[in-house]
Amino acid sequence: MNIAEQSREIMENTGSKTPDLLMDRPDAVIVLEDGFALSGKAFGAAGRTLGEVVFTTGMTGYQESLTDPSYHKQILVMTAPHIGNTGMNTTDPESSRIWVAGFVVRDPARRASNWRAEGELEDELVDQGIVGICDLDTRALTLHIREKGALRGGIFSADSLPVGASKLEPHAIATLQSIVRDSPQMAGAALTSEVTTDSRYVIAPSGQFEDKPPLATLAAVDLGIKSRTPEILASLGVEVHIFPASSTLEDLQSVHPDGVFFSNGPGDPAAATREIELLRSVLDSGLPYFGICFGNQLLGRALGYGTYKLVYGHRGVNQPVLDRATGKVEITSHNHGFAVDMPLDEPSLTPYNEGQYGRAEVTHVDLNDNVVEGLKCLDIPAFSVQYHPEAAAGPHDASHLFTDFLNLMLTHRQSTQRGNN
């Protein structure tokens, strides 16, 4: 019997609507690579999990975050204290599974209480073997990460706890700390092959464009794509062909696309050498390009700029970003631990191959820390943003970018047709 089932049995036997869900939970601890440790109770599956510990400031959208492939190999800390009250449903997932390596919450909901709920959060965590921890000071954990940066960590519970660990005895924590230090780092990690689709599939135009000829055809490279992205494009009349990350330019061109899209995804962009070479071949072909998140970082590297690891990253649905072209501030959804390093103040000649791709400029900056949040090529049809305009979860301020890309594809197709006549 899993923990969620035990909780329901308690409610049935006692008739209480507010049972103590911490009773009968195994002890658990979270330990970071620098030795910082907190004790709590098991949440979800019991056992051991390792990963980079990061936090998100979103107060809603935990289901979308859990199923975002960009969180692969990461232990996610929710800064919102009460998690689980909206349950789980089959509409909101961004992929076919939960991708987080572990889950940290302060107060799990006693039961789902939402008209859209089709199941309990904890049941899903147990079913998918996601090790978590609750009943701990997530604020202290978040503040530590803000001070020290994103660190490797581990959640340990039940049989994975050595004697004395639940009481944070130094010898036991030292044992767990050594396990954490032996785990892989995120810097240098190439993870695309672990999250990409196995085979190509198509999302047909939807809504008012259903069963009509598509306005445009798009080749989308899945680096850990969120399902909401092609759904939005399809609603605009775009036929989206989603390709594995191992695809070649010839594969993409086989559908005669009007443009190419690179998705979000996990890992260090500096390690994605094959994907960068594919992107350069796309730019060389002259096809319009749009990238989101990881796709933004890869465009930066394809152009010859560097990328670097942020101290603790941007994760949440409330990040203010300045659109330099309009002067407007958009509240945006983020999930990234790396960023592009390029001149902020004026356009620059792209460094790759002595300016092969012409000039580029920073189009968007984060108002919290001046991190590059978008870039645009001035001499070829390519642009990208670091944040998530698909807003799953999050605000819709930046949804216009999909229409902007559609217009870019249509304009490019028209100019190409004129040139061929």
Write down how long the chain is. 421
Helix (H, G, I), strand (E, B) or coil at 11: helix
Query: Annotated binding residue at 164?
Result: no
Whether the Cβ atoms of residue 243 and residue 278 lie closer than 8 Å to each other: no
The active-site residue, picked from 52, 64, 330, 390, is 390
Query: Annotated binding residue at 338?
Result: yes
The active-site residue, picked from 241, 314, 334, 388, is 388
Amino acid at 267: G
Query: Annotated binding residue at 304?
Result: no
33 is catalytic: no
CA distances from 382 to 120, 248, 301, 344, 361 (A): 42, 19, 13, 18, 11
- Which residue from 205, 225, 207, 235 is spatially nearest to 217, judged by alpha carbons? 205
373 is catalytic: no
118 is catalytic: no
- Which residue from 272, 276, 270 is spatially nearest to 307, judged by alpha carbons? 270
Query: 313 — alpha (psi -120 to 50), left (phi > 0) or beta?
Result: left
Bridge pairing between strands 216-221 and 259-262: parallel
The active-site residue, picked from 72, 293, 330, 334, is 293
How far is it, in rounded angstroms, from Cα 314 to Cα 297? 14
- Which residue from 31, 337, 375 is spatially nearest to 169, judged by alpha carbons? 31
Query: Annotated binding residue at 294?
Result: yes
Element (H, E) at 170: helix 170-181
> What is the phi/psi pair of residue 28, to 5°?
-150, 155
Q: Which residues are annotated as a binding site?
A: 70, 265, 267, 294, 297, 335, 337-338
Q: Which positions are annotated as active-site residues?
A: 293, 388, 390
Binding residues for L-glutamine: 70, 265, 267, 294, 297, 335, 337-338
